[in-house]
Each structure stands twice: as C-alpha cells, then as structure tokens.
Structure 1
Amino acid sequence: MLLQPHQRTKLDETQDDLFYDYPRFVTHVDDRFIEQLTQLYCDRIPTNARVLDLMSSWVSHLPKDVTYSHVEGHGLNAEELAKNPQLDHYFVQNLNENPKLPLADQSFDAVLIAVSVQYLQYPEAVFSEIHRVLTVGGAAIVSFSNRMFPNKAIQAWRESGDQEHLQMVKTYFESIKGFGSPEAIVNRPEENAILALFNIGTSDPFLAVTATKAA
C-alpha cells in the first residue's frame, strides 16, 4: 500500500462534487509556471497525438501552435470544461469515488495531470488507469507547485514539502508495473531572501514527474 488510510484523509470530507460545483475561471499557478508547463508539453507530446487531460478545467496549457488529433478533457465542473477551447470532448467524473476511466485501452499517446495530483485519495488506482489508456511509449506528465486547496489535499501532501511531493509522485509511477523509470523535473526560481519573507517578487516553483509506458 502506497499510503496509509489516515494519509488519504482530507480536512473537508464532504463530496468533492460540492466543492467544485461552481466554476473558478482562474489559474492556480503563475505565468512563469504556465510557460514552463507549455514548453514541457511541446517537448514531450508529438504532433497529432491523442491527449487526455485529467483533472482539467477551463484551460489546458497545451501549446496553441501544435495540432493534436484529439484532446479529451476530464474534471469535476462541466461549465469550466465547456469553456476550454483546446478540448475536443470532455467528461465529468469524481476519481476519488470511481477511478475507472470510461476510455479504451491504449487510446492516448499522452496523459496529463496539472496541479491536481495532490487531491487524489487513491492515486495507485488512477495511475493504473493512466497506464491502461496509454499507448506503448506514451508519456504521462504530472506537474505541480507548492499551492493547493489545503482542505481538499490529502494529509500526506499537506504535511510534506516539495522533495517529498516529488518522491510521492515517483512512487505512484513505480507502484504500477509497466512504467519506465520516472523522471523528476525541478525548476525553482532564484529569489531575494529578504523580499521572499514578505512574499514579494516570488514565483511558483515548477515541479513535474514524467514516465513513459514501457513495451
């Protein structure tokens, strides 16, 4: 077992559907983070790929000048997903209640989770599904920073820092037979220590873990 039962708990144990019932048309990371994420997608996702954007919203951060054959979106708020111009289709599903994706085996060349992995209570089940729907050689890209809705993040994430988060996500991949060795990507901005004390001039650290489906 990756996580102990108490590590999966949330401060707010009400249904996630209620928390995400109203749309939030905001970005949860800064522009610098988004630029790095878009570049990572550009580097790792080939043209004409079939892409699954899990736990998405009104924006997917995919490069606008790259053509994909299909982009499937998933999330908890239909209004947000409907506003996302990069999605060809979307579905609403609570992965903490039902991690089984209504998608065919080996139907996507890339699967993305952007700044949302901290809310998964049963990540091993979700990552097993990610492996199932990926084509051989397909990439899973999980990105995150140090922001969260603390009332909805699992305890294991709330009570740990960046390095522990990287290791947690690597362990999620390693727990599923058939993924290659996960790769951690870290880019922390240089900051003025005095300004950082007052949260002035700081920017979000960019953290990601990627892995590909092995033959």
Structure 2
Amino acid sequence: MADDRAPDPPFKPEHFVRHDSADDAEFYVQERMVQHIDNAGRGALAAFYAEHLPAGGRILDLMSSWVSHLPADIEFANVAGLGMNRAELEANPRLTEARVHDLNADPRLPYGDGIFDVCLIALSVQYLIRPLEVFAEIARVLAPGGLCIVSFSNRCFPTKAVAIWLELGDAEHAGLVGAYFCHAGGFSEPVGLNLSASGVLGDPLLVVTANKI
C-alpha cells in the first residue's frame, strides 16, 4: 500500500513540550464542569455539527468531557466518549459509552478498525503531545469516507497546551491542525473554516475537517 503521508513532518520534540509536564491524570483528577467557549461559539459548533453529522451515525467524541455540543434534535446510533475524567464523562447525557484514556500516555485508540462514521475533537487538540500518532489512529477507526472535525478557539489551560500551539495565532492553528492530518496520513486534503460570529466580540471558533481516504 502506498504511503499517503506528507513527507518530512516539520515538527521537533521541543514543539510538544509543556510548562506542566506532570502526569495528566493528576491534572484531570478534579472534574471541571465548565464551558470552554462562549454561547455564540457553542451555538455555531452545534449548527455545524447539525449540517455535517449523519443522523443515525456512529460518533467518536475524542478528548470528551461533560458536554459534546451535539445538536439536540439529531439521534445517533452511538456516541462513544473518550476522555480524562470519569465524572465528566458520566455527566454527559449524549454519550452511549465512555472510557477514561490518556492519549498522551498511549495514543492508541481502544476501538476496532473502521467502526465510526465521524470523529470529533472539540476545543482540546492543543493538549496533544503525540498528535500524529493520534491522528493516524483516528484514520484507522474511521470507516472509509468517514469525517474528522477538529474545532478550537483561543482558550486553553496554558500550562498543559503544547509549546507550538502557544506560539501561534488562530489562523496558524488551522494550518497546524491541517499539518497533523497531512503528516499522519490516511486523510483527504484538510479544509479549514472560520465559524466566528461576524462583527461580534466573543470567542473565535475555527474548524478543520478531513475525510478518511
């Protein structure tokens, strides 16, 4: 099989260091039932999901928490949540199954090949220290043609975000996520969109999407 990854990833180990390199399990032991984007951003993300997620689809909510931002009027066959805090996952009413799993310690996803139609990473990609391995795993668990949607804003826990994320601005973040798709392999050309509300002061919202090929 041909290798469809972009050549020579432009990343260095120092790009993925963090101010707080302690075990992530310690940081996430305390549940945080907080929103990570404002009302307008949450509404825009739910509307984008409503347009792109198939009713009855099999959804993987990666790096999940107590809210998945899924549209309330669409039912899915299953929504599997994988995150760091058991209490947050159990409080999420949209999840049909939940697993606690630290992707920075082990980027392998505990799922079979090709079993999801969509993978979501909402407002948390900035914390991955092994993103190419995680994105390669996403390609593995998606069905052919399956969609991955990565959304992000300018909020984060700065001590846990990787160095390269903190060095870049919003538009450059979109390019970085696009590079994750390209260098992981197994995806179509990524597409970036700015979903920020025009003319309104508030949190920016950007998404980058790609399909499994």
Deviation at 1:15, TM superposition (A): 0.6
**Counterpart contact for 2:41–2:196, Cα < 8 Å:** no
SS at match of 2:184: coil
Deviation at 1:138, TM superposition (A): 0.8
SS at match of 1:52: strand
Unaligned stretches of 5+ in structure 1?
A: 192-200
How far does the alpha carbon of each residue in 1:49-104 deviate from its partner, in whole angstroms, 9 at most, with x for none?
00000001001010111010000001000000001000000101110110001100
SS at match of 1:72: strand
Deviation at 1:2, TM superposition (A): 4.2
1:202 aligns with 2:210: no
2:187 alignment partner in structure 1: 179
**Counterpart contact for 2:53–2:118, Cα < 8 Å:** yes
1:119 aligns with 2:127: yes
**Counterpart contact for 1:106–1:132, Cα < 8 Å:** yes
Normalising to structure 1: TM-score of the pair?
0.93
1:65 aligns with 2:73: yes
| Greater than 2 Å deviation, 4+ residue runs | 187-191
Deviation at 1:178, TM superposition (A): 2.2
Q: How does 1:47-86 map to 2 (within 5 A)?
A: 47-86=55-94
Q: How does 1:82-93 map to 2 (within 5 A)?
A: 82-93=90-101
SS at match of 1:184: strand
**Counterpart contact for 2:192–2:208, Cα < 8 Å:** yes
Q: Which of the numbers 16, 32, 35 marks the counterpart of 1:8?
A: 16
Q: Which of the numbers 22, 31, 37 marks the counterpart of 1:29?
A: 37
Deviates more, 1:70-79 or 1:171-180: 171-180
Identity %: 45
1:197 alignment partner in structure 2: none
SS at match of 2:134: helix
Residue type of the alignment partner of 1:152? K
- Kindly tell me: are residues 65 and 188 of structure 1, through their superposed partners in 2, closer, same or farther at Cα, counting changes over 3 Å? closer
Deviation at 1:189, TM superposition (A): 3.7
RMSD of the alignment, in Å?
A: 1.1
SS at match of 1:126: helix
CA distance in 2, matches of 1:16, 1:62: 26
Normalising to structure 2: TM-score of the pair?
0.93
1:196 alignment partner in structure 2: none
**Counterpart contact for 1:111–1:141, Cα < 8 Å:** yes
CA distance in 1, matches of 2:154, 2:54: 28
Q: How does 1:154-165 map to 2 (within 5 A)?
A: 154-165=162-173
Q: Which of the numbers 100, 105, 115 marks the counterpart of 2:108?
A: 100
CA distance in 2, matches of 1:88, 1:62: 13
Q: Which of the numbers 152, 155, 159 marks the counterpart of 1:151?
A: 159
Deviation at 1:188, TM superposition (A): 3.4
How far does the alpha carbon of each residue in 1:4-33 deviate from its partner, in whole angstroms, 9 at most, with x for none?
111100000111111111111111100111
CA distance in 1, matches of 2:140, 2:203: 32
CA distance in 2, matches of 1:98, 1:188: 33
